[in-house]
Amino acid sequence: MKTNKQVHNCTRIYGNIAIGEIVYFNNKQLTIGFTLKQLDELFIEIESIKDDDFIQYGDVHNRFSLSFAGNESIMEFVYPVFDSEVVLEQFKRLVYIEKMNISEAFEEALEQYLFIAKDIVPYLYRDRKNEIYSEINLCKKRLMTRFEVMQLQYLIKNQQNNFILVTNDFKSEYFYNLPASIQGIICKEVTDFEAARAISDVYELPMVVHNHSYVNGEKVIIDAIKGLTIINPRDPDINFYKKELRNFTFRLGEKASFGESKVNLYAPIVDTRTLDKIASGGWYNGVAPFKSEYMYVTKGMTPTFSEQEAVFIKLLNAMQEKEIYIRIPDFRKERPIKYIEDIYTDIDSLIDYYELYNVNLMAIASAVQETKVEVHIVIPMIRMSSEIPFWREAVDAAFEMYNQETPKIGIMMETESALQYHEEYDNMDFVIIGLNDLIEELSDDFNRYSELTKEEIVDLLWPDIRDLHQHLRSYSMKLKHIVAGNFLKNPKIFNKFLKSGFTDFSIPLNAIGLIEETLKNHIESKGQFIGIAAQRIEDQKTKDAQGAKFVPSRLEINAAKAKSALEKKARKQKEIRDSHKEKREAVISSILTKKKKKDDEDENN
């Protein structure tokens, strides 16, 4: 039975087009739909999540927070609450018997325990009571979110068909470890628009806000460009939007429409969903950069060494001969890590959070050892050239632990100070020029999502970018420099960089179609020019072999004219000298006669 097609207006967060069937994740869902076996499996996972959270968060908290006297960490008073048998029994009763939602049941069980226990803080530490209860509340909220993510992944882990995820609200943790089949996201409500847009951008997943009662399994099209959702679309609608989507990206298995050239394209990614697509078809030369901080942002807790190692092994195995640029975690206030205070990539942060960065670097080094695939390490947000040697030492140390050669190390040149004083930066092997951050540092009127014209980019950036380009390509440097940023999606801006001699670009998968024709024309025009020049040389050789009349160039003609004028002047001077020959000989004869006469007179005297 055919269902009615529906077209609804929605609010665009970011992205373009997505087509798939609905998978609705209701984080308020009661457990009435779960079997006992499924609930048993979920509770095994719940205990695993609790253990991971306590170990990882406790490690972070102990290392980077103040402790009590006698080296007793605040977490020693927090963990017992969550490990209490009373809490666990009540938690299970509310889920198994009362069929409550898992996260809400956990919160209810915890609150009942705290009410009955009255005071869990020893008398000696009563002055830290508020701090301890505040920490308990933070851990509770973090675990509730992680339990939601557990249920989400349980729901979508076997989803083979392309799907669009519908959620009640937006949480960055929902993006952790997503399958390749996810195509887009519909949120019924979004309170933090900027955070949602940032995640939608880097994950390249179209996202809209639409409070509608979607049904699991029904076909839906998201048109985030026009702000539409189309429910139960007809075949002509699907075919139309498939063609529209092809304007933004290619299909898996499709061959590149442009040939090999000196221009290299790299895919910026945050997870492993799209590796098969990047590795196939000859569209991309590799990955640049892999933004490893999103493992920290979306998990809701620091990822373990094993988790990071598994991701990097998958990345390296998929890319093989292609170039791989991995960016160490770039923590920012706009992508906050809720369980750690603000971290930057300056020397102080490297010292304070050395172990956190070291685990990340060791996971990369271990993956290199396992796969025998080379990587490049990218250091973000460098503001002073003096910071680079410190990071180089940290990378050296991590790779030495796995008996691996130090990889090439480069920086994200994305700060105003780095751009203006680029000549001071010499202790690096490559550069990624981050246009997004540069625009936001240099302009009060634009951000990374602004749709700038070529003229605006030229006005804001071009003198400095041109100077940087000339410096990096100079004989003394000869450094690879990859240009990255949302503005490259504009074909005119992309073409400006091409025409100016830039050859390496970081282009998202969801935008490569926008610059495809520009790149294709550029490569073909270069090939035509080279072919014409080569043909002219061959034609000249043929004419010479056949004794054809030589047609000199303008330069050769001018040179011949100059030579003829000199020869003419030389002949005229010779004629003048010759006309005076007899007179000159008579003078010489007279001089010699007078000299002989004088010599004879001197001899007789």
Q: For residues 566 and 541, what is the distance between their CA atoms, to the nearest angstrom?
A: 31
| pLDDT confidence tier of residue 68, bands split at 50, 70 and 90 | very low
Confidence class of residue 106 from pLDDT cuts 50, 70 and 90?
very high
The per-residue pLDDT for range 268-284, each reduced to its tens digit, is: 999 999 999 999 999 99
Q: Span 556-575, mean pLDDT?
A: 57
- Which residues, including other chains, have CB under 8 Å from residue 465's CB and lie 6 or more apart? 419, 433
For residue 505, list its beta bridge partners: 265, 483
Return the ∠ at Cα 60 (arms to 58 and 64), rounded to 5°: 120
pLDDT of residue 381: 84
Treating both helix axes as pointing N-terminal to C-terminal, what angle do 102-117 and 85-92 enclose, rounded to 10 degrees?
A: 140
Tokens of 469: 């380009």
Q: Where are the beta strands (DSSP E) in 283-375?
A: 286-291, 323-327
Token duo for residue 555 = 């330069």
Q: Reduced to 3 DSSP states, what percent helix, strand and coil does the chain have, rounded to the nearest 5? A: 55, 15, 30
Query: Do residues 379 and 329 touch, judged by C-beta distance below 8 A?
Result: no
> What is the predicted pLDDT for the residue at 422?
86
Q: Which two tokens stand for residue 274?
A: 């799209």
Q: What is the pLDDT of residues 386-406, one digit of tens each?
A: 888 889 999 999 999 999 999
Q: How far apart are CA 401 and CA 398, in angstroms?
A: 5
CB contact set of 271 (below 8 Å; sequence gap of 6+): 177, 178, 203, 294, 311
Q: Looking at the predicted structure, is the pLDDT value of residue 84 above 50?
A: yes
Average pLDDT of the chain is: 86
Q: What is the pLDDT of residue 545?
A: 60
Query: 32-36, long-range: CB within 8 Å, 24+ apart, which pairs?
Result: 32/99, 36/96
Residue position matching structure tokens 């160039």: 553
Model confidence at 58, in pLDDT bands (50, 70, 90)?
Answer: confident
Site of tokens 């040389």: 537
Domain extents for the chain? Answer: 6-243, 264-510, 513-551, 563-594
Which architecture does CATH list for 264-510?
A: Alpha-Beta Barrel (3.20)
Residue 66 has pLDDT above 60, yes or no: no
Of 3.50.30.10, 3.40.50.10800, 1.25.40.10, 3.40.50.1390, the CATH number of 6-243 is 3.50.30.10
pTM over 0.75: yes
Give me the pLDDT at residue 591, please: 52
pLDDT in tens, 276-319: 999 999 999 999 999 999 999 999 889 999 999 999 999 999 99
> Residue 335 above 90 pLDDT?
no
pLDDT digits (tens, 9 = 90+) for 213-223: 999 999 999 99
